[in-house]
Structure 1
Amino acid sequence: MSTKPAISATPLLSQRHNGIPARLFDKAQEAKSAISAIATKSQSNRTAIALPQGVGESTFHRAIDALRGHLGKDHVELVTKLNDGWYMENPNTHDAMHVAEEDALVASAIVYPSTTEEVQKIVHWANKYRIPISPISIGRNYGYGGAAPRVRGAVVIDLGRRMNRVLDINPDDCTCLVEPGVTYFALYEEIQDRGFKHLWADVPDIGGGSVLGNALDRGVGYTPYGDHWMMHSGMEVVLPTGEVIRTGMGALPGNNSWQLFPYGFGPTPDGLFSQSNLGIVTKMGFGLMPNPGGYESYLYTFPKDEDLSQLIEIIRPLRIAMILENVAQLRHVSMQIGLEGKPRSTYYAGKGRVPDSIIHEAAKKLSSGDCSWLYYGMAYGPREIRKYKLEIIHKEFMKIPGARRIDPTTLPTTDYFWVRDRIASGVPDIEELRWVNWHPNGGHAAFSPVSPVRGHDATALWDIARTRCEEFDLDLFPTFVVGLREMHLIVEIVFNRDEPVMRNNVRACLRAMIDDAAKLGYGEYRTHLAFMDQIAGTYNWNDGALMKFNEKIKDCLDPNGIMAPGKSGVWPARYRGRGWEMSAKDEAPEGLGVGPSPDSTKL
């Protein structure tokens, strides 16, 4: 009788730039064990190197030898095997939560620069040999493609391994400057180690991602500083030609306001490098939140799915007025069940979406009890200020029949409520992905439309998600994330990535939801690599004027088309019109070759 090998220790932050803080080691081991206990997928035995189209094998290996000469042989690796790992030991070779075939979006090699100057060398090298490159910070963009390149065979530039310094923390101005490999775990620990107890770093649901990378992909956290892109100031960028620029005040030599004023003088180019393929950001500054002098988490539950519209109408004016101060989390009870970390089979063995009756029966055993929606929030400031705001919130939420406020003193210290409490006070945690254990070999992909904070918009999107997931036999874990004046619906779909039929259903479901939402005027703010072309195509006002603008900039800044081709649906001239776009009609990730560069010469 075979037994699974013992679970190896998760690397600590003191051992590896993307490791786990010692305070969270036991949690990490528990999460890793839970994933391993139900895993059935074997690791890939693949040994062939995925060469990029348009690059011959001999040219590729000659180019790799040249790159080793620039960086050292230990800092250039060929991709000959795929290991999915898990969140804390993520691969930088491919998408660990692949919605297509495992090696559909896979790198040919990985390189590890240590300085901006070495990044420049890599970019010059890529231009010389016409080899596509794909930069990553940490590679934990789970649910959106992870570390995978959009073009199969591209060389992944892993900026995190050797560029992971916190370059500056200014305790007076409440700012920091970081390299790509600084995770939220690392920034938090650095702030504590330096004794800056009055500073908070806003953190997302799980803390292993890159501070810089998350902001570039317009991710969010859960303090009043939750819009990470809005809180950035100052970038250093290597352009596709190898030139380096600094944005904002950093363009003035000797300036000391780089992390204070993001605009500088003249046109502000920063947005061109967000969700883009126009440069590699090697440094980025951020504002840090000063300790507000007190905080208090709260949780309300609401009994019926139909409460959604009224609840959103209550939330909107409170959020705009900053009575609801942090990025709001309105979660469906199905996700709360998923957070127990138990497999779906614990609750239901049938086919199709788990019936609502079973979800509600399971919810009765939760500390929050049976309900449909849960609102996690936090009030900040001195006690009397918190009391004033909390009384307003309570009065408004209790207008919904059956609404309940959960008394935190009744909850055990292990309850998920306290995870939200830590995250909303700037302390990164690791529990959030427990719902991925819903299926063996769990992967997840997200439908992420943006809408006004209005009841009828929330209901319309909720109806799309439920209808399509019902059609494709998929469970869904929805959360409404409310910014200051807009709302994101994040529908997480968990699937067994070792089951081709389920993967196909996930792709079909997401594609249908994207089209349904676009017909009603809703667009996604972020997506998996496989859906970037489709979503970019929905932003087609005035005969696709925005894409034409993006393509003009791409061709100007990246004439050889080497920088992350296809990222966010923007293809350089060499790839256009050659069938590289992924769609419901053609899920193949590769096109029919690439064209010549404007100044191409034989190598």
Structure 2
Amino acid sequence: MAGKYIALPKGVSEQTFDAAIKAFRGVLGETSVLTSAEQLAPYIKTMMPVPDSEHAPSAVLMATTVEQIQKILGICNQYKVPVWTISTGKNLGYGSAAPAERGQIVLDLKRMNRILEVDKDLAYALVEPGVTYKQLYDHIAEHKLGLWLSMPAPSAIAGPVGNTLDRGVGYTPYGEHFMYACGMEVVLANGEVLRTGMGSMPNSNTWQVFKWGYGPYLDGIFTQSNYGIVTKFGFWLMPAPPAFKPFVIQYQHEEDIVEIVEIIRPLRINGVIPNAVVIAHALYEAPVKARRSDYVTGPGSITDEAVRKITKDHKLGIWNVYAALYGTQEQIDVNWKIVTQAFGKSGKAKILTEKEAADDPAFAYRAALMRGDMTLKEFSLYNWRGGGGSMWFAPVSQARGSETLKQMSLTKQILGKYGLDYSGEFIVGMRDMHHVVDVLYDKTNPDQVKAAYQCFDELVTTFSAQGYGIYRVNTAFMDKVADTYGPVQRNVNKILKKALDPNGILAPGKSGIRL
């Protein structure tokens, strides 16, 4: 315990912090500056295998306006107080709402939750950071705008700003979220307000329709970084298609991933399947229908025999390929013929449409995600083992069958070494695949906590040594992953940090970036 505060910012005395807190209260009012242990409890709990105390904030600030943020940053610069910004603050499995380093102030923007504009004709939205997907979904439904959202699996409780800035993905044809971002408002560390793209031009009416503006394209440097605080965010929405056909294709052997990917890749590149295809392993889907304890007890990872029994009991494939077709019924009919012919050649695939799989809960939640609907079913993963431990391991793979088989086998081997299960899926972009694995463990069990940390560390070390980059990671491993991308990139990031944030007040440690 650090005196009257549960933690203090690094290098800041209690007396100096007192002065900063007084100044923050002068800007926000007493009730919007949180310092008690009870108030800060929601901002401390993480799912990572490290003591939560390592990520305890010193205070939480609840801002509602750009002007307040500007004044807050002025105080942070004056007293050299670091500030970690969150929007909805969920980020489950990647660090939750807790700051990267002990003692950082959390700037919580969830009260900045205005939907500023939704244009039906041009199909775009402009929102503040605290807007959730559910809030925007309800707005679109209420006004009968005929537009679809693309959202990550946490859907309702997450928000488009936080998800896109961490380069999250969704499951509709607009699933590569940053690709469909268009125009940001950013408060820089010195308090200046930058509008990217066409937004820098006074009276512009093309801010949310043309991404590039004039000169260097800046939006990318504000993703997965700590160079500014995004306060307005524009992105494109998908017009609701006349028809939608979700389907699942099941395979029964792990080595079938080679055939699956070789079939999918040309269908994705050629646009026959327009959305991000998910290839989910049986243990990724099983928690929707079963509990681990129904099939195995005691230490060690689950056996292949138990996994096989799960697939039979619950009508799952070892691999479950979820995709959809969109457009007019005529377009869907043509593309469905192409899809079924491609997957039907070997005789290994079992193809199920909504008609055959409508009552299956795993299919239902996948279909909901592919049409931009609300669902929290993926959180069933956290009931699989129990104990509240989760870290997403997310290496990128080429869309080649041999590469995905190699990644799956290597991941499964390392997890098994530490007594953990392989709960993974591949999300197929155009030419890449996000390999997303939930490293689940019991955080109340010290042995599993130790094993989970060592396992994740070995996963990052082994995969990076083989040239597989991690595209997103939890706050406990940000420095390690940043190191895998080499000293030149780290140095460039540091140069940008010095130029844009000379006092290093904005989220030190985010993506391994600090002065």
Query: TM-score, structure 2 length as denominator?
Result: 0.97
User: What's 1:421 paired with?
Assistant: 367
Going from structure 1 to structure 2, the CA distance change for 1:47 and 1:100 (only over 3 Å counts) comes to farther
User: Is 1:300–2:249 an aligned residue pair?
Assistant: yes
> Which ranges of structure 1 fall in alignment gaps of 5 or more residues?
1-43, 85-90, 573-603
TM-aligned CA distance change 1:521 to 1:545, over 3 Å? same
Q: Does 1:471 align with 2:414?
A: no
Which of the residues 267, 275, 289 maps onto 2:224?
A: 275
Further displaced range: 321-330 or 402-411: 402-411
Aligned partner of 1:52 in structure 2 is 9
1:397 alignment partner, one of 317, 340, 343: 343
User: Retained in 2: the 8 A contact 1:79–1:110?
Assistant: no
**CA deviation profile, 1:45-87 (whole Å, cap 9, x unmatched):** x995111121111211221111101111111101414887xxx
Asked whether the equivalents of residues 48 and 476 of structure 2 are also in contact (C-alpha less than 8 Å), the reply is no
Partner in structure 2 of residue 265 of structure 1: 214
**Contact 1:302/1:400 (8 A) holds in 2:** no
2:94 counterpart (133, 139, 144): 144
Larger helix proportion, structure 1 or 2? 2
Tell whether 2:139 aligns with 1:165. no
Q: Distance in 1 between matches of 2:256 and 2:312?
A: 19
CA distance in 2, matches of 1:349, 1:104: 32
Residue equivalent to 1:200: 148
Per-residue displacement from partner, 1:236-271 (whole Å, max 9, x unpaired)? Answer: 001111111100000001000000001111111111
Give the paired residue count.
513
Is 1:113 aligned with 2:56?
Answer: no
Q: 1:554 aligns with which of 491, 497, 504?
A: 497
Shift of 1:444: 1.1
Match of 1:568 in 2: 511
> Following the alignment from structure 2 to structure 1, what is the Cα–Cα distance between the partners of residues 505 and 11?
12
Q: Give the match for residue 184 of structure 2.
A: 235
Whole-Å separation in 1 of the counterparts to 2:442 and 2:190? 41
Aligned to 2:432: 486
Deviations 1:323-356 (A, max 9, x none): 111011000011111222x442222113111101
In 2: Cα distance, 1:412 partner to 1:428 partner: 17
Which of 17, 20, 32 is the matching residue for 1:63? 20
- Superposed, 1:496-507 pairs within 5 Å as 496-507=442-453
Query: Which shifted more, 490-499 or 178-187?
Result: 490-499
Contact 1:360–1:370 (Cα < 8 Å) also in 2:
no
Q: Of the candidates 362, 367, 383, which is equivalent to residue 437 of structure 1?
A: 383
- CA–CA distance in 2 between the matches of 1:257 and 1:511? 45
Q: CA deviation at 1:419?
A: 1.5
CA distances 1:360-387 after superposition (whole Å, capped 9, x unpaired): 1122121xx2521000111001112111
The offset of 1:422, in angstroms, is 1.6
Q: Check the 8 A contact 1:180/1:282 in 2, yes or no.
A: yes
Aligned mate of 1:364, from 291, 312, 315: 312
**SS at 1:330's partner residue?**
strand
* Deviation larger for 309-318 or 439-448: 439-448
C-alpha distance in structure 1 between counterparts of 2:262 and 2:439, whole Å: 26
The Cα shift of 1:555 comes to 0.8
Residue 330 of structure 1 corresponds to 279
SS of 1:103's equivalent in the other structure is helix
Counterpart for residue 23 of structure 1: none
TM-aligned CA distance change 1:370 to 1:70, over 3 Å: closer
Tell me how far apart the structure 2 counterparts of residues 269 and 79 of structure 1 sit (CA, whole Å): 38
CA distance in 1, matches of 2:4, 2:356: 54
Selected match of 1:124 from 43, 53, 74: 74
Using a 3 Å threshold, how does the CA distance of structure 1 residues 83 and 505 change in structure 2: closer, same or farther? Answer: farther
Aligned to 1:455: 401
Structure 1 residues 413-422 or 513-522, which shifts more? 413-422
Task: Output the CA distance in 2 between the equivalents of 1:125 and 1:354.
Answer: 52
DSSP 3-state at the match of 1:363: helix
| Structure 1 position 480, deviation (Å) | 0.3
1:390-440 deviations in Å (ceiling 9; x for gaps): 111111122344310124323354622122112111112111111111223
Cα contact 2:268–2:274 (8 A) shared by 1: yes
Q: Which residue of 1 aligns with 2:460?
A: 514
Change (3 A) 1:77 1:525: same
1:537: which partner in 2?
A: 483
How far does residue 204 in structure 1 lie from its aligned partner after superposition?
A: 1.4
| Structure-1 separation of matches of 2:124 and 2:354 | 33
Out of 51, 64, 70, the position equivalent to 1:101 is 51
Q: Which amino acid aligns with 1:195?
A: K
1:554 deviates by 0.4
In structure 1, what residue type is equivalent to 2:203? G
Instruction: Output the CA distance in 1 between the equivalents of 2:121 and 2:510.
Output: 38
Q: What TM-score results when the alignment is normalised by the length of structure 1?
A: 0.83
Q: Which of 206, 219, 233 is residue 168 of structure 2 equivalent to?
A: 219
Cα distance, 1:446–1:376 mapped onto 2, change above 3 Å? same
Corresponding position of 1:7: none
Deviation at 1:442, TM superposition (A): 2.3
Amino acid corresponding to residue 510 of structure 1 in structure 2: F
Deviation at 1:566, TM superposition (A): 0.7
Moved more, 498-507 or 64-73: 498-507
Deviation at 1:499, TM superposition (A): 1.8
Q: How far, CA to CA, are the matches of 2:40 and 2:68 in structure 1?
A: 27
Q: Which amino acid is the alignment partner of residue 204 of structure 1?
A: P
Query: Which secondary structure does the structure 2 equivalent of 1:61 belong to?
Result: helix
Q: 1:221 to 1:507 in 2, by over 3 A?
A: same
Change (3 A) 1:412 1:393: closer
In structure 2, the partner of 1:73 is 30
Judge conservation of contact 2:390–2:439 (CA < 8 Å) in 1.
yes
Q: CA RMSD in A?
A: 1.7
Rounded Cα–Cα distance in structure 2 between residues aligned with 1:272 and 1:402: 45
SS in 1 for 2:233: strand
Question: Which letter maps to 2:72?
Answer: I
What SS class does the counterpart of residue 523 from structure 1 fall into? coil
User: Percent identity among equivalent residues?
Assistant: 38
Counterpart-to-counterpart distance in 1, 2:147 and 2:121: 10
How far apart, CA to CA, are the structure 2 residues paired with 1:83 and 1:499? Answer: 24
Residue equivalent to 1:344: 292
**Secondary structure, counterpart of 1:364 in structure 2:** helix
